[in-house]
Amino acid sequence: LVSQQTTPNATMKFTAAVAVLAGAMLPCDAFVVKPSHYHGASLKMSTTEDAAAVSEKIPSKKEDRLRFMKNKQFYRKGFKEVRDDVEKTMQEQFKSELVDDLKESNYVIERNGVKVYLAKDFGFCWGVERSIALAYEAVEHFPGKRVHITNELIHNPEVNENLEKMNVQFIEKKDDGSKSLDSVQEGDVVILPAFGASYEEMDYFDKKNVEVVDTTCPWVSKVWNTVDTHQKKGLTSIIHGKYGHEETVATTSFCNDYICVKDMKEAEMVADYILNGGDKEAFLKYFEKAVSEGFDPDTMLNKVGLANQTTMYKKETRAIGQLFQKTMLKKFGPVDPQSHYMEFDTICDATQERQDAVHELVENAKDLDLDFILVIGGFDSSNTAHLLEIPVNAGVRAFHINRAECIGADNTITHRTMNGEIVTEPFIENLDKEIIMGVTSGASTPDAAVQDSLSSIFMLKSLHDNAD
């Protein structure tokens, strides 16, 4: 996985041909079956010899996952015979001459009275491009078959609309959060999205006569390996992530005991309970949707391991890790600290690099005289939402849009705020002067979306100037 470094946005940062390397780039132990057991509740509860003997006969969820992957109808490396055509399609849909010009001009360009500073790392990451390539190849490889996908492939409206145009069926999500998996029939094709699929979904499709194309990002698989390590060591997994996010739903399905914390505030609540106890009923009520079945904070928080949704804000994940490390030291002392706390860095490189690049823009915002920073990406994209937080928290005017149409000809902008509201408000404060702006995009945003958004701003400024 360390080889999954996000390269600077070259003409096309990833060719569909790279999909064939995906299996080779997973961590070595992803293909090694090791002794590990789950038995309903926590490993810590298997204390008797009888319980241990029963547990010994039950494969771990990781072992099951590896078994699913060995099914001859399970595909992870794409389909070579259609790769060239898919690569051409992706170039046509996602390439941007304007973005290429920006990169060749040291990430700054002036057009139509608008000066644009582009973040040094932005847009599609390797994992996203790989996922799109695998999905497109699946459609081409199985002509005439019904193709389904268990969720949005990635959090980008244009990409998901492209799949709909290719007649990919998005499996319906019911009001209770479950999915209509029975819509998949014998002989159909099922695509697992970049976020991964839950253990239960993978198990369901493994038992059905369907072709499964797995586009899960290798960084997500890395998190699954981490929570498997927690289980082997009898640790409760603390997941820094949003419990309803597709990736976290998949990750928690591979856990035994877990609790999800979305931010430092919730992490502090858990740390306080570890140290001081408290109102157990109130605690469980607050976290009722974010904990494993039968979760008991009085017994399951004595040994914990930290993992995270790969798209979270890395600085916050680090701070949460330090909080739990100190909490366990304070409660249990310095003797054998790893027996009570363990953590791994599972924030993907692409997420961190894009956050660092926005930090650089923000740190130079005053010297560059930026009017605002535009963040482009799906409204439900976690990594894009965190890019917005960086300028907003620093007091720099910023907007998160999901497509060019959010910029109105009447100089309004429809955008997502930090608290998740979609609002429309006046956009550029003074069209009479030169507009100086920064721009970045999330890891699931194609360069073409950046070009379209910037073109709308160029047009807005030109119309105003010509009217004068």
Catalytic residues: 247
The distance in angstroms from the start CA to the end CA of the chain is: 55
Of 358, 343, 280, 277, give the one whose Cα is nearest residue 313: 358
Which residues, at least 6 apart from 165, have a Cβ–Cβ distance to it below 8 Å? none
CA–CA gap between residue 162 and residue 401 (Å, rounded)? 19
Look up residue 15 and give its DSSP letter: -
Q: How far is CA 27 from the centre of its chain?
A: 19
Q: For residue 60, give the H/E element and its range.
A: none
Q: What are the start-end ranges of the H helices in 169-244?
A: 199-206, 218-232
* DSSP three-state, residue 116: strand
The answer to whether the beta carbons of residues 262 and 386 sit under 8 Å apart is no
For residue 350, CA distances in Å to 3, 14, 314, 342 come to 12, 13, 11, 24
Q: How far is CA 80 from the centre of its chain?
A: 27
Q: Please state, as a whole number, how many other Cβ atoms lie within 10 Å of the Cβ of residue 105.
A: 12
Q: What are the start-end ranges of the H helices in 14-82?
A: 49-56, 61-69
Q: Please state, as a whole number, how many other Cβ atoms lie within 10 Å of the Cβ of residue 333.
A: 10
Q: Please state, as a whole number, how many other Cβ atoms lie within 10 Å of the Cβ of residue 139.
A: 20
CA–CA gap between residue 203 and residue 399 (Å, rounded)? 41
Is beta strand 74-75 parallel, antiparallel or unpaired with respect to 168-170?
unpaired
CA–CA gap between residue 330 and residue 197 (Å, rounded)? 38
For residue 156, CA distances in Å to 96, 190, 191 come to 17, 20, 16
CA–CA gap between residue 231 and residue 237 (Å, rounded)? 8
Is beta strand 422-426 parallel, antiparallel or unpaired with respect to 412-416?
antiparallel
Which region, left, alpha or beta, applies to residue 389 given φ > 0 means left and ψ of -120 to 50 means alpha?
alpha
Of 374, 356, 343, give the one whose Cα is nearest residue 315: 356
Q: For residue 215, give the H/E element and its range.
A: none
